[in-house]
């Protein structure tokens, strides 16, 4: 492990030594990269964001997100639902070994590609001027695994992607059909509701495809950071309503509704400003 850490810390792109016009600090590894709680002025993840920001997003996702709630409601009994959540909490420890360590290995093996900081060079390598950290895992699969295992791993990655997308689309179509469509078509049959849900899924697919250029033009080179930045604008009102409903008995449906609406409007305005006036 010490050898693994030493190699990762010493690997910087070769072009920062050749090209004197490139700021060498852009590709250098931050001294706090192994710390979970970093200083408050850290540009990537200060301890305030780790303690407060991620907690708000975690409460929204694990306690009130439709994808998680729908799975919990499908459990056979209340004890099965609690046991499933407990098992997932232990499995959640595995991303350190499945996500973090492969990324560190890819950074040590190919520093010129994974650690690029020059926009022109990054554009040639992966097609993104913000950085190429998103290609770390695919490079490990394509360059280190045998041909047979490469095809198997790509199939597994595609299956995982399809599983996540189907869960999201299924939950979204359920919300649309039950909470919105049935309000306008109270006498709709089950067949009509199924058709409406499928049409809404096609609409979501089209919106997802149209959203790709926005993601590509984002200043975040890491897809995970982009997802967290989007949800951080929309999660606080949901978290606030959920927590208040648990600990304050006077909260009612009308207050929860308008709290969500006002919070989401503020979050959307902040989201539009963030991506319209990006940081240099």
In a shared domain, residues 272 and 231? yes
Residue 134 lies in a domain: yes
Helix (H, G, I), strand (E, B) or coil at 23: coil
CB 89 within 8 A of CB 80: no
**Average pLDDT of 219-234?**
72
Q: Is the pLDDT of residue 18 over 50?
A: no
In a shared domain, residues 82 and 121? yes
Residue 66 lies in a domain: yes
Residue 6 lies in a domain: no
> What is the distance of C-alpha 104 from the center of its chain?
19
In a shared domain, residues 157 and 202? yes
> What is the distance of C-alpha 86 from the center of its chain?
22
Neighbours of 272 (CB within 10 A): 11
Q: Is the pLDDT of residue 8 over 70?
A: no
> What is the model's pLDDT at position 199?
92
In a shared domain, residues 161 and 132? no
DSSP state of 46: B
In a shared domain, residues 265 and 214? no
In a shared domain, residues 182 and 135? no
State the Rg of the chain over Cα: 22
In a shared domain, residues 139 and 168? no
- Look up the domain containing 158 and give its range: 152-219
Residues in CB range of 133: below 8 A, 6 or more apart: 103, 114, 221, 222
In a shared domain, residues 230 and 213? no
Instruction: List pLDDT tens digits, range 229-256.
Output: 778 888 889 989 988 888 888 888 888 9
Number of residues in the chain: 280
- Cα–Cα distance measured from residue 18 to residue 177, given in angstroms and rounded to the nearest whole number: 59
The domain boundary residue, chosen from 219, 243, 267: 219
In a shared domain, residues 238 and 259? yes
The domain boundary residue, chosen from 89, 113, 144: 144
Helix (H, G, I), strand (E, B) or coil at 176: helix
In a shared domain, residues 208 and 270? no
- Cα–Cα distance measured from residue 270 to residue 272, given in angstroms and rounded to the nearest whole number: 6
Residue 38 lies in a domain: no
More confident residue, 52 or 225: 52
> What is the model's pLDDT at position 222?
66
> What is the model's pLDDT at position 11?
54
Range from 21-30, 117-126, 163-172, 221-230 that averages highest in pLDDT: 163-172
The domain boundary residue, chosen from 122, 144, 166: 144
Tally of domains in the chain: 3
In a shared domain, residues 215 and 228? no
CB 54 within 8 A of CB 225: no
Q: Is the pLDDT of residue 219 over 70?
A: no
In a shared domain, residues 226 and 266? yes
> What is the model's pLDDT at position 141?
85
Instruction: List pLDDT tens digits, range 254-277.
Output: 889 999 999 989 988 887 887 776
> What is the model's pLDDT at position 200?
92
Residue 53 lies in a domain: no
Q: Is the pLDDT of residue 76 over 80?
A: yes
């Amino acid at each position: 492990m010490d050898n693994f850490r030493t190699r990762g810390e010493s690997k910087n792109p070769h072009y920062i030594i050749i090209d004197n016009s490139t700021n060498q600090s852009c590709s250098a590894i931050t001294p706090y990269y192994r710390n979970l709680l970093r200083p408050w002025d850290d540009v990537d993840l200060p301890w305030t964001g780790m303690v407060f920001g991620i907690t708000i997003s975690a409460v929204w996702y694990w306690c009130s997100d439709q994808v998680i709630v729908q799975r919990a409601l499908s459990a056979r009994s209340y004890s099965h639902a609690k046991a499933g959540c407990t098992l997932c909490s232990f499995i959640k420890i595995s991303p350190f070994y499945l996500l973090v360590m492969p990324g560190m290995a890819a950074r040590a093996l190919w520093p010129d590609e994974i650690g690029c900081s020059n926009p022109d060079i990054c554009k040639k390598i992966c097609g993104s001027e913000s950085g190429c950290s998103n290609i770390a895992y695919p490079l490990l699969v394509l360059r280190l695994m045998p041909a047979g295992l490469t095809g198997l791993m790509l199939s597994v990655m595609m299956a995982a992607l399809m599983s996540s997308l189907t869960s999201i689309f299924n939950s979204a179509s359920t919300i649309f059909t039950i909470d919105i469509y049935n309000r306008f078509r109270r006498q709709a049959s089950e067949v009509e509701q199924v058709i409406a849900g499928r049409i809404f899924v096609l609409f979501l697919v089209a919106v997802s495809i149209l959203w790709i250029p926005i993601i590509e033009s984002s200043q975040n080179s890491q897809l995970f950071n982009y997802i967290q930045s989007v949800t951080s604008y929309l999660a606080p009102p949901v978290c606030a309503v959920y927590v208040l409903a648990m600990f304050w008995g006077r909260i009612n449906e009308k207050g929860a509704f308008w709290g969500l609406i006002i919070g989401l409007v503020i979050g959307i305005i902040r989201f539009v400003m963030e991506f319209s006036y990006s940081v240099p």
